[in-house]
Structure 1
Amino acid sequence: MPFKEITTVCKKCETVPVLAAVSKPPQTQSITPQLVQTLMPAVPIAELGVRKRKKIWTLSSRWHCPLVGTCLPLGEMRKIAMREGYQTRGASDYDVHGLVVTQCHTRTPIAELVQRYLDKHYAAALMRFTRIRGEDQALALWREEVASGQDITGALWAAWTHPDIDAKAGEIIFGDIHMLSHQVGSQARADLRLQERLKHDNAELLKRNRQLQQEIDKARLLKSNAVAQLERDLDAARSQLAHYSQREAQFDLAQRLRHEHAALRERAETLDLRVNTLTERNTELQRQYAEAQVQQAELHEELLGAESALALLLDDAPQAPCAQDCPVPPRLSGRCVLCIGGRQNLVQGYRRLVEAHEGRFMHHDGGQEESLHRIDAIVSGVDAVVCQSGCVSHGAYWKIKDACKKLGKPCVFVASPGIASFARSLETLTAQAVGSA
């Protein structure tokens, strides 16, 4: 696609020369690495003369790759490329990423679409940074956002486009986001290893279950054969007894009949003992099978929790544990935390997290079985509330919110019922506790 420099001045910042495309690419043009390389010009950092937020095409081309990769979702990236006539079907995510990055080096239609999307999507972060004046305060707010881990993507966009952030401060932010990506990748690899181990344990349990099932089937077959043989022997004994009863008059025959009957009775008792033994063995095998099923269900629940935590880590990009001598996270110090809602199979996980933060734990199911009329009384007896808003009704949500506001209890609302989301809510509560102390 041909480009040329337009010798006009940007109407918004009045100081930045604009590079624009002469024409849009044809509808059938595919994204390839060669196309990305041909579209990549060398663009310096624009020097703004007035106090206005920087545009993406005025930023250093060195920052575009982490900015687009961190702040712009892949699906939105493909939509923007297709909207400007690029054929993304069959193109890899890396090729689409490379195209959008190179288009952001200059003021192109794609760069303007990316600018509008990021401004709209991260409006809250932009509003927080708008109130800040001076490079030092902007960097301090950036570090606060990174430490909280709540909205790093929005903070990155707002910080780099802040009018008081110069090239040197921008490189500091670049170093922070670069190291953060390494830490997130390390945590993701650890979670993947845990997931593989759980899958292996699950496969071993399935194999053991199949072996137990085969043994149970064999025991059932032996029992069935033994019972059938016993019934045949008993029928034969009855037939012989009936036959010999007609010849009671003959002593010898009757004597022999008594001996044979005694022998059959002894054999019947032996077979009955064998049936009882097989029955006990079958009962034991069924007990082992039930225990194996319970272990399999528990491992399956652990596997689902690990996969949920990994998705949240990849989506939310939390900060991995620091390898240096960082301060110890704040503790609940005996405070009582009430968890409302959440998944029943994760309640014990919530409890362990609260107790690990040196706190006490209470739980209410949010009105599913327990009454909501007791919310005011329960909230009054705790120090903080974590509401799993995605697992309670709309009416329960407002009742809980009103109770916390009326009683002055800190409350954190969590949309996802996962262990990772609950852990972040505890970090928020402990931080509030330390701040109010």
Structure 2
Amino acid sequence: MPILSEFHNHNHGETSTFTLPRKIEAPLFKIDPKNQQRRKIWDISPNLHCSIIGTCLTATELRQFLGKMGEPDAKTASDHSLHSRGVLAAGRQDIAGKQLNKTLDRRHETLVKRFSKVATLDEIRKLWAEALEEGEVPGAYWAVMTHPATDKPLLQEVFGEVHMLSHLVGSANRLDIARLRKLQTELDERDEKIVRQEARLQSGADERSALLRRIDEMEQTIIRLAARNDTKVEHADETSILRSALERLDTEKARSESLTARLQATEDKCKAAEKRAAAMSEQIAELRFELEAVDTMLNVETADGSPSVLSSRSLLYVGGRRGLFDRLRVLAEQRGYALFLHDGGVEDNLSLLPGLVSQASAALFPVDCIGGGARQASVSGRAEKVRSLENGEPRQLYCRCFHRRGFGQRIGSGHASAEGEGKSLCARIKKLDFKFPV
């Protein structure tokens, strides 16, 4: 007969002492000043048994305990039914109650020993706060409830925190479960798709192997038939058979070639997908680099703290897209620079460029967005101020220039053509470690 027979009698319509929790005016636990041993679960108010069972034992652990107590449906009963039986056992000082107390002690032995080393309320409260921060709520809750020094205010405080924590966990679990189900569905669909693709590939490979074996058999048949041509009586029939075999061979070869082409196309698609994935990875790495560059530009001062070579904090940006000028100007103002802009001769007069170069501490121009004349004008006679930005969206390159270190290094002037000078500057700039003031 099950230990918790009262619960089963209640389920069959008989009178039972098991009822829903109600407000009890009795003390929350038995107080015995002479007894310094830990409390048992039946010494604690029934009002707290529900929270103890629900917090300190998992459904699996409770199911195992009730199975040991002889509950016939311990493996199939609902979690709520098991919880109710656990609460009933907690209030009884019999075999079930004692075994339940031992189960809780074994389950939370580490935390019980840790709390047993302290004796004051302040020490207990401190250990409880640490356990709450580290997520060790079940063991700490059982240790506080059974500690001989725990008083009513501390017990009510701990109970309240666990009660509210259960609400928060329940709310968060609902969202997590929804997200988990969605992700699991997507994962299952992807796995099914992969399985189907692998099955098609394997089927094609098997069919191709079978066709190759049949071709070999046909060729052997042709060889045998050719060896029998010396018999004149059967010559006509053998010729017909040979012709038929050759036709079948041609058909099988055509099918084999078709399957080979399909298999190659599938392999090409797989390789293309791998290349796209690699390209996306490279793009992600580049975007991450740009993001780090912008973050560094906005948050980090010059590494060595040395004064900037751009003492006047003025820059000249030649070329680029006019649609970006406003954003570049805002970016420069945020960093405390005076920014001179020239579109490289599209609308602005090229005769203004030498004067702007003389006013700026450094000149920047994107190689892919500037005309030859503007490049020649910006380079000629003042190449030491020029910093060329090659191949990239101007605003990203502009941000990168503010982030790079070593801007004080000069680039020698030359007398080559505008195109050659730009390429030379780009090649030499790539070897420098710019240091732009932030």
The structure that has the greater radius of gyration is 2
So what's the TM-score if we normalise by structure 1?
0.43
> Which has the bigger relative contact order, CA under 8 A and spacing at least 6?
1
